[in-house]
Amino acid sequence: MAIKQAVVLESTGATAEYHVVTQVMIDTLSKTTSATIMSYVSADTHTSGKQPIQGATTIYMQGVPDANEGAISFAEKLLIVSKPADGDQTAEVLPYGANRYMLAGGTIVE
């Protein structure tokens, strides 16, 4: 599975449209999930074995999966959630400065 969403990457200025979750870490104490993603120009560049546009990006999110839910599918669902209208500052306060909502509005694809 992957996420389809056109995003201009800050470090390169290139547009990536296909994002693959490569690692998920769950912290049950703080109830946070982090997802490491690799971003590609397109699905074709990923499936043909090309390199991602930039290094891995780790995004931190509030919440953990239920006991019977897969970690990657849970993270993918959180990653595409739209930024709340109330001005949620999560992107500014979580570690490492990765924009929590960079994939908001994306679509989960095969």
C-alpha distance from residue 97 to each of 29, 90, 94 (Å): 22, 10, 7
- Residue 17: the pLDDT is 97
pTM confidence score = 0.87
- Residue 11: the pLDDT is 80
d(CA 5, CA 76): 12
Q: What angle do CA 72, 74, 78 make, to 5 degrees?
A: 115
Mean pLDDT taken over the chain: 90
Express each pLDDT in 12-49 by its tens digit.
889 999 999 999 999 999 999 999 999 999 999 999 99
**Amino acid letter for position 79:** L
d(CA 95, CA 68): 28
User: How large is the average pLDDT for residues 57-82?
Assistant: 94
The residues, ordered by sequence, that sit 6+ positions from 7 with a Cβ below 8 Å of its Cβ are 15, 16, 17, 19, 39, 102, 103
- Sequence spans of domains, the chain: 2-109
Express each pLDDT in 76-101 by its tens digit.
999 999 988 876 655 555 555 678 89
- Residue 10: the pLDDT is 79
Q: Are strands 15-27 and 107-109 parallel, antiparallel or unpaired?
A: unpaired
